Amino acid sequence: MAGMSSKRLQKELVKIQGTLPPGISLVSAPDLKEWQMDISVLDNPLYPPADKYRLRFTFSPSYPIEAPEVVFLAAPDRNIPMHPHIYSNGIICLDLLDSQGWSPVHNVESVCISIQSMLASNTKAERPPGDKEFVRSNRQRPRDINFLYHDPTV
């Protein structure tokens, strides 16, 4: 299992270091456990193309059978994008990243593209309802949270 995970991540890394879609770039992949990617949204007035957003991927040993944990990171020059499905602590409410919606066919690149398109199709610069309450009280890992996926438009 662990062998399969590292083998696949190595292959993905080689591919990512080669070519990536526009707006997506690899920041750091020090090991096969945690990677950081930068994405920028190219065609949405809510997100200027110059602004980049930092994503952190955390892989478990059973990747790709299990979904990686993907959150936005706040850094000195990186903000967490305003989106009705992204909490201000960086947790993303996206069915793709949940155990129900995850498929082992996905990879880092496809997840980045999904999040990029989720941002690109957004029209409301706002946080999810109850954002402050959630950010203050949440101690769970993102994968343990029972999100209710009610919005099929994204």
Partner 1 sequence: MSDSNSTGHSSLSPPPPGSRRSPSPGGTSVSTQIALRNMRRLEARRNMEENHYLTQKARNCNLNPPVDLRALDYVSKYDDNLVCPICRCPLVDPVLLMDCDHCFCRECIRQTWTTYSPLGPKGDCPTCRMPAKLGPRASTSKILVNILDDLVVKCPKSENGCKSEIKRGEVQDHITIYCGYAMVECKDSGCGQSVRRKDYDLGCLHYNVSCESCQQNMPKAELETHWQLQCPDRQVKCDLCSSLIYYRDREEHRKEACPAVNVPCPGAPLGCTNKSRRAHLDIHVKGCVLAKLGPVLDAQKQRMDEQESAHKLINRKLEILETGFTAMQDILSANRSGPPDNGSTETLIVPSRSRAESTATDSTRIASADDYDFPVPPSNRGSAIEPESPPTTNTTRSSTTPRTTATPRSLTSPPLRPAPQAPFPRPTDLPPPTTTDFDLASPFSTTAPGADGPYSSPLHHLLSMHESLRDEMARVSAALTELDGRHSMQILNENLRTRDEIAYLGGQVAGMGRQVHWLTSAQLQRQTPGGSAAAREVGTGASAGGGGAGGSVEGAVNAMSTAATALRGAARVVNVGGGQGSPTSPGMRRGVSEEGRTKL
Catalytic residue, from 55, 70, 93, 108: name it.
Answer: 93
Query: According to CB under 8 A, which residues from 80 to 119 bind partner 1?
Result: 99, 103-105, 107
93 is catalytic: yes
- 82 alpha carbon, distance to own chain's centre: 14
Angle subtended at Cα 135 by Cα 134 and Cα 140, rounded to the nearest 5 degrees: 80
Rounded CA-CA distance 91/142 in Å is 7
CB of 64 to partner 1, least distance (A): 6
4 is a site residue for partner 1 (CB under 8 A)? yes
How far apart CA 10 and CA 27 sit, in angstroms, is 16
Least distance from partner 1 to the Cβ atom of residue 151, Å: 18
Which residue from 17, 28, 62, 121 is in contact with partner 1, where contact means CB under 8 A?
A: 62
Give all strands of the β-sheet with 24-28 in edge-to-edge order: 24-28, 34-39, 53-58, 69-73
Q: How far is the CB of 107 from partner 1 (least distance, A)?
A: 8
Q: Which of 93, 148, 143 is nearest to 122 (CA)?
A: 93
| Site size for partner 1 (CB under 8 A) | 16
Q: Which two tokens stand for residue 41?
A: 């949204």
Q: How far apart are the first and last CA of the chain?
A: 33
Q: Is 45 in the site for partner 1 (CB under 8 A)?
A: no
Contact with partner 1 (CB under 8 A): which of 31, 42, 65, 151? 65
Nearer to partner 1, 5 or 40 (CB): 5
Q: Give the residue numbers marked as catalytic.
A: 93
> Which chain residues interact with partner 1 by CB under 8 A?
1, 3-4, 7-8, 11-12, 62, 64-66, 99, 103-105, 107
